[in-house]
Amino acid sequence: MIKSQPTKLIPRNAPALLKSRETNPKPRLLIGNPISTRLEAGIGNCFPGLECDLRNLERRFFPFLEADMPDATIDVISVDIAGAEAAARDGTLGKANLNGYRTLHAGGSWTVEKIKGTFGSLGQQSLTLADLNVTNPTSFGPRRKPIDPWTAVRMLTEGTNVTLVLRKKHTGAAAHRVTLTGKRARYLGDDGALAEMFLPGEMTQSLCSPWTHDFRDCSCLYWASNHPDIAQPPEPGPKHTDRGWDLFVPWERTDRSLDKPPAAATVNGPSDDAIFGHYEINRHWQDLNFVIEGRERLHPYTQQAFNAKPLANEKDLETHLRYAAGVELAVLQEYLAAMYSLKPDEDLSGTLLDNVRAARAELMRIAIGEMRHLRAVNNVLAARIGKRNYRPALGIASALPPVHPGQKQMPVSFQPLTCEAVRRFIEIEAPSESVDGVYAPILATLNQVAREDEIQAIRTVMAEGEDHYLTFTSIQEWLHAFDEKDYLRAPKMSRPPASNRNHRDLQVLYGKLLDTLYEAYSAGLPDGATKLSGARAMMVGDLDPKAKMIADDGFLVVFDVPKDSRFTPINPPSS
Amino acid sequence: MQRIATIAPDPAAPMFHRFRSEGGEHVLIVPYSRVFDLPAEDAAAFDGDAAARDVAVAALARPESGEVSLDDVVAPQPQNISLNVSSSCNLSCSYCYAARGGFEGAQAEPMSWPTAKAAIDALLARADPAAPVTIGFLGGEPFVNRELLHACVHYGAAADRHRGFNIRFSVTTNGTLLRAEDIALLRAHRFAVTISIDGGTDVQDRQRPGAGRNAAGSFARLRRAIEPLLADPGRAQIAARATVTRNDFDLVRRFADIVALGFSEVGFSPLRMGKTAGEALRDEDWPVYLEAIKSVARGEVDRFRAGMPIRLSNLAIALKQIARGACSPYPCGAGGGYFSVAADGRWYACHRAIGRREFEMGDSSGLDSEYRHDFLERRHVHAQQACGTCWARYLCSGACHQEATARTDSGCGFIRGWLDFCLAAYCDLSGPAMTTLPEALETVAL
């Protein structure tokens, strides 16, 4: 019977549907945006947006309200009165608030007059929007105000209480006012997707168009990656002598001739007639040159040859890797000594406070980066020589590589973050120099013998070195306008005397840290994970406070080499 | 996830289960818990020709892409732990599996911060950051050691913020010690809060009296303490959990009493193993209990039809799991993704096993992977002889490891009876929802 008339089974739950779908696939229409348009996949920015205008999040910062934020106001666009009524029915919205929403819904143009709430790191404040000053903001110091209404809303801490005083526009002195309280809305759901209150397409409204006026008006920092303001002009030939060809020039210049070097860019930017105007850019944007490595290119780009020579054998590779690890450990200690030499926040004010905070944060970020490099080098080392033969490389380098090939090696030197120290750090991290030079032969060797992940690990270390280099140039820029004595605890700081108790404590902690790292690296992952995590906690929880105490005593934060053969300093390889 | 072994099922294991709802005939394909409707004329054909049916069922029982083999024994990374933060309790319920947190001497002291921190660090070092991580608090009464509980939550929340983990918390508490600061903490985090409450004043005061000098009933204290939390749970999700002893099967009244306090989720747990004689359910009690919980469930099914949510969590969870086709060779995560850390820092497969050597898996410095693998192999449902011939084996999965020794035909009969009820309820209730899915109209020809 069954053979002549097949049994019909109608799927009822998800795995039954899966079975029927696999047996009988059928195209289906799904409503909603494709996955490539999710917030995290896009370039989100604002004024306007490239792929998502983040201002659209703020339009729904307050429950049941949709707001528009032109330059200096927050205006109510719509009220979700059905939502408010429903919330009142289930008891989550109070009567006073409901009446407020009803008043707003009844008509008229409403604008926010005051916001009271928790503005992130700026703390609890009550702001009158008319008092916010975009052109002359108080941009630093505690209790500073956000610079404009949108920034204020942007800073409101999710889930905290917000009180709005709204005023009916065009009603004169005896203006009609409504006060609402609610929580700053959550923009994302628990699964990380946009909250349900946002409508499809809402994030992608108010986008800019790269081929129109925005392309001219929005400077390089605005565009994702493909719009420099300035670039070196196309090279006339490899042996040019006129330095003008190496200077940076406006990329959107109207004078496209290449008979002589174009006029160099200036700090103040080009004059309006030196670059394409609004209508010209519409017609000429395709004439702009591609820029690779900072230079405009008229011809297909050929990558520079990688000149480093591979090392002779695996033994040499091990020696170089051990030294590289030692160099990471040495430079990170130099950076930390410099970082702790900066004055604490409470002794600073104004722009300098902001600049020092930025410098300190960046130095810490770089130091953490060097720790990651130390681990990456150790991972490669373990992979190359096998877990059985592997001993973690945790000895500090006895000397740093020379700044330029052929010069003398540099002694490891701990000093405050003086101008001279910053220059030294820039040289250490400069591409193709110093530290980069240590890795070049390692990479050349790995290119021949190693697995792709080992090669990529070293390439990443080298690439991040370039980021460190650029960051140090920024730090130089932030601090150079000030006197060293204004931001350093003292321009000359010495190592603590042996009698300094905090220094002695720090060395004990440092010994323990190296010990923990040694065990963690030896065990590898996942077995060493707990120890590794413990080492991280030790750095943040124990070493950092101790180092601050030493700095407060007025001394440099330095780490002594423990008397332990596992951590003996590493000399530079002889070859 | 590491596959450590495979265990073949009993060749005689039933591959399908026929059941009936108000709307008609259905079949559950046991592996992967696929539910199909059988139109009346096809039901007769299905039941009539065993040979043809077995071929069809075998095809439906095979895994599709994305479905893992049910024969696999896998050792997932620890993803959830519970911390037994306290070793004592202010109540003294006679049936307590933890002997008020002391576990008969196995857990004499409360947990210390270094022990708790080491456990959380060990969890985070191993857990998959892309999946949610849960840190639970048990005891004893966890809020006896509130400082530690608060410290752990702040520590975990910092990991959530700074290290990219998605951390959730859970706590099982008698609720009587909650203070304003505890409630603020629960509201501020993604907490699954389970309040142990057995019923109204009479049941609660009888089954859950205070301890020591404060031996009075706990109902009034509990009501006072949890009122503000129920009124505004913040980000927390609050559920009541009621233990049922053989002394009182009036679940309808107990359910109503608990709901009246403001709970929107209430679950019942029958006592299978009691410390005091006369409390645990006996063979003759299971049919009575089944009818009692079905009475509550029928009321909730009617409510759901009227557009209101289901408050009986036993039913709500079962329906959700049937809908997504829950199916596992393990009844819980014990020893797999879940561990319970005793106050002394030892990791056990489960919070009910504190102090029991056969469930000890290691400590925060590492797990005894060989023993753990052995445990996971032993506890796989294919290794449970009694489960081999049961159609509910991937839904019940052998039930609680701790209670396996108390397993009886009558107790298993209750589980099958309850699942039958839930399967039928699912088919009846999913009707209108299914019409919104075009796939529901697709059929598969056998």
Taking only the tens place, the pLDDT of each residue in A61-119 is 999 999 998 878 999 999 999 999 999 999 999 999 999 999 999 988 999 999 999 99
Taking only the tens place, the pLDDT of each residue in A502-552 is 999 999 999 999 999 999 999 987 788 888 888 988 998 999 999 999 999
Interface probe for B, chosen from A1, A5, A19 (most Cβ of B below 10 Å), is A19
DSSP state of A131: G
Residue B437 — very low, low, confident or very high, per pLDDT cuts 50/70/90? very low
Quote the percentage of chain B above a pLDDT of 70: 96
What pLDDT is stored for residue B230 in this prediction? 96
Token pair 């009993």 is found at B10
Residue of B nearest to A91 (CA): B231
Partner-chain contact B42 A8, CB within 8 Å:
yes
Partner-chain contact B440 A3, CB within 8 Å:
no
Q: Is it the case that residue B377 has pLDDT exceeding 60? A: yes
What pLDDT is stored for residue A206 in this prediction? 75
Q: Is it the case that residue A268 has pLDDT exceeding 90? A: no
Please list every residue in chain A whose beta carbon sits closer than 8 Å to the beta carbon of residue B53.
2, 7
Give the closest residue to B300 by CA, choosing from B318, B288, B312: B312
What phi, psi does B17 have (nearest 5°)? -140, 125
Token pair 């052995």 is found at B374
Partner-chain contact B366 A6, CB within 8 Å:
no
Chain A touched by B213 (CB under 8 Å): no
Partner-chain contact A6 B445, CB within 8 Å:
yes
SS3 of A420-471 = HHHHHHHHHHCCCCHHHHHHHHHHHHHHHHCCHHHHHHHHHHHHHHHHHHHH
What pLDDT is stored for residue B286 in this prediction? 96
B67, B439, B446: residue with CB nearest A21: B439
Cα separation of A28 and A21, whole Å? 11
What pLDDT is stored for residue A370 in this prediction? 95
Partner-chain contact B42 A23, CB within 8 Å:
no
What is the pTM assigned to this prediction? Answer: 0.50
Interface probe for A, chosen from B28, B36, B47, B235 (most Cβ of A below 10 Å), is B36
Cα separation of A347 and A353, whole Å? 8
In a domain, B206, yes or no: yes
- Name the minimum distance, in Å, from the CA of A365 to any CA of chain B: 14
Q: Is it the case that residue B434 has pLDDT exceeding 50? A: no
What phi, psi does A124 have (nearest 5°)? -75, 130
How many structural domains compose chain B?
1
Q: Is it the case that residue A200 has pLDDT exceeding 60? A: yes
B46, B67, B121: residue with CB nearest A533: B121
What pLDDT is stored for residue B229 in this prediction? 96
Q: Is it the case that residue A50 has pLDDT exceeding 80? A: no
Q: What is the mean pLDDT of chain A?
A: 86
Fold classification of A314-495 is: Ferritin (1.20.1260)
DSSP state of A437: H
As a whole number, mean pLDDT of residues A486-509 equals: 95
Return the axis-axis angle of helices A434-449 and A314-340, rounded to nearest 10°. Answer: 150
Q: Is it the case that residue A415 has pLDDT exceeding 70? A: yes
B45, B121, B443: residue with CB nearest A2: B45
Residue A375 — very low, low, confident or very high, per pLDDT cuts 50/70/90? very high
What pLDDT is stored for residue A4 in this prediction? 40
B49, B118, B322: residue with CB nearest A13: B322
Q: Which domain holds residue B221?
A: 76-281
DSSP state of A501: H
Give the closest residue to B377 by CA, choosing from B174, B73, B90, B48: B73
Partner-chain contact A12 B124, CB within 8 Å:
no
Taking only the tens place, the pLDDT of each residue in A540-555 is 899 999 999 999 999 9
Residue A25 — very low, low, confident or very high, per pLDDT cuts 50/70/90? very low
Q: Is it the case that residue B87 has pLDDT exceeding 60? A: yes
- Name the minimum distance, in Å, from the CA of B102 to any CA of chain A: 29
Partner-chain contact A19 B34, CB within 8 Å:
yes
What pLDDT is stored for residue A95 in this prediction? 94
Please list every residue in chain A whose beta carbon sits closer than 8 Å to the beta carbon of residue B29.
16
Taking only the tens place, the pLDDT of each residue in A175-195 is 789 999 999 999 988 767 788
Residue of B nearest to A1 (CA): B45
Highest mean pLDDT: which range of A142-146, B140-144, B307-311 = B140-144
B316-339: b or e for each residue (b if 16 or more CB lie within 10 Å)?
Answer: bebbebbbebbbbbbbbbbbbbbb
As a whole number, mean pLDDT of residues B153-157 equals: 94
Please list every residue in chain A whose beta carbon sits closer than 8 Å to the beta carbon of residue B437.
17
Residue B435 — very low, low, confident or very high, per pLDDT cuts 50/70/90? very low
> Which residues numbered 300-329 in B keep a CB inside 8 Å of some CB on A?
322-325, 327
Give the closest residue to B134 by CA, choosing from B112, B153, B114: B153
> Which residues numbered 326-345 in B keep a CB inside 8 Å of some CB on A?
327
Residue B291 — very low, low, confident or very high, per pLDDT cuts 50/70/90? very high
Query: How many angstroms separate the first and last alpha carbons of chain A?
Result: 86
Partner-chain contact A1 B48, CB within 8 Å:
yes
Residue A430 — very low, low, confident or very high, per pLDDT cuts 50/70/90? confident
In a domain, B88, yes or no: yes
Please list every residue in chain A whose beta carbon sits closer than 8 Å to the beta carbon of residue B123.
none
Please list every residue in chain A whose beta carbon sits closer than 8 Å to the beta carbon of residue B79.
none
What pLDDT is stored for residue B242 in this prediction? 97
Residue A360 — very low, low, confident or very high, per pLDDT cuts 50/70/90? very high
A3, A14, A526: residue with CB nearest B324: A14
- Name the minimum distance, in Å, from the CA of B169 to any CA of chain A: 14
Q: By a Cβ cutoff of 8 Å, what residues of chain A touch chain B?
A: 1-3, 5-24, 26, 28, 190, 526-527, 529-530, 532-534, 537
Partner-chain contact A9 B446, CB within 8 Å:
yes
A6, A13, A19: residue with CB nearest B323: A13
Structure tokens at A488: 């350093």
Of A86-90, A146-150, B198-202, give the lowest mean pLDDT range: A146-150
Q: How far is CA A128 from the centre of its chain?
A: 32
What pLDDT is stored for residue A48 in this prediction? 65
Partner-chain contact A2 B37, CB within 8 Å:
no
A2, A13, A527: residue with CB nearest B34: A13
Return the axis-axis angle of helices A544-552 and A314-340, rounded to nearest 10°. Answer: 50
Please list every residue in chain B whose beta carbon sits closer than 8 Å to the beta carbon of residue A25.
none
Residue A41 — very low, low, confident or very high, per pLDDT cuts 50/70/90? low
What pLDDT is stored for residue B34 in this prediction? 94
Interface probe for B, chosen from A3, A5, A9 (most Cβ of B below 10 Å), is A9
Q: Is it the case that residue A236 has pLDDT exceeding 90? A: no
In a domain, B169, yes or no: yes
A2, A12, A21: residue with CB nearest B49: A2
Please name the amino acid found at residue A99.
N
In a domain, B328, yes or no: no
Residue of B nearest to A3 (CA): B52
Chain A touched by B434 (CB under 8 Å): yes
Chain A touched by B444 (CB under 8 Å): yes
B427, B440, B446: residue with CB nearest A7: B446
Please list every residue in chain B whose beta carbon sits closer than 8 Å to the beta carbon of residue A532.
125
Q: Is it the case that residue A289 has pLDDT exceeding 80? A: yes
Please list every residue in chain A whose beta carbon sits closer than 8 Å to the beta carbon of residue B35.
11-13, 16
Q: Is it the case that residue A210 has pLDDT exceeding 70? A: no
Q: Is it the case that residue B236 has pLDDT exceeding 50? A: yes
DSSP state of B279: T
Chain A touched by B27 (CB under 8 Å): yes
Return the axis-axis angle of helices B113-126 and A529-538, rounded to nearest 10°. Answer: 120
What pLDDT is stored for residue B431 in this prediction? 63
What phi, psi does B168 have (nearest 5°)? -120, 160
Cα separation of B233 and B49, whole Å? 55
Please list every residue in chain B whose beta carbon sits closer than 8 Å to the beta carbon of residue A527.
366
Cα separation of B416 and B393, whole Å? 10
Residue of higher predicted confidence among A117 and A302: A117
Residue B164 — very low, low, confident or very high, per pLDDT cuts 50/70/90? confident
What pLDDT is stored for residue B384 in this prediction? 92
Q: Is it the case that residue B167 has pLDDT exceeding 60? A: yes
What phi, psi does A151 have (nearest 5°)? -60, -40
| CATH number where B88 lies | 3.20.20.70
In a domain, B222, yes or no: yes
**E strand residue ranges, B102-232:** 132-138, 166-173, 191-196
B39, B53, B444: residue with CB nearest A19: B444
Angle at A231 between CA A230 and CA A233, to 5 degrees: 130
- Name the minimum distance, in Å, from the CA of B344 to any CA of chain A: 18
Partner-chain contact B325 A8, CB within 8 Å:
no
Q: Within 13 A of A408's CA, how many CA atoms are on the CB side?
A: 3
Partner-chain contact A11 B439, CB within 8 Å:
yes
Domains of chain A by residue range: 57-183, 213-297, 314-495
How far is the CA of B93 from the CAs of A472, B26, B239, B246, in angstroms? Answer: 65, 43, 19, 15
Taking only the tens place, the pLDDT of each residue in B300-328 is 999 988 888 899 999 999 998 898 889 99
Please list every residue in chain A whose beta carbon sits closer than 8 Å to the beta carbon of residue B67.
15, 18
Residue of higher predicted confidence among A488 and A18: A488
Please list every residue in chain A whose beta carbon sits closer than 8 Å to the beta carbon of residue B46.
7
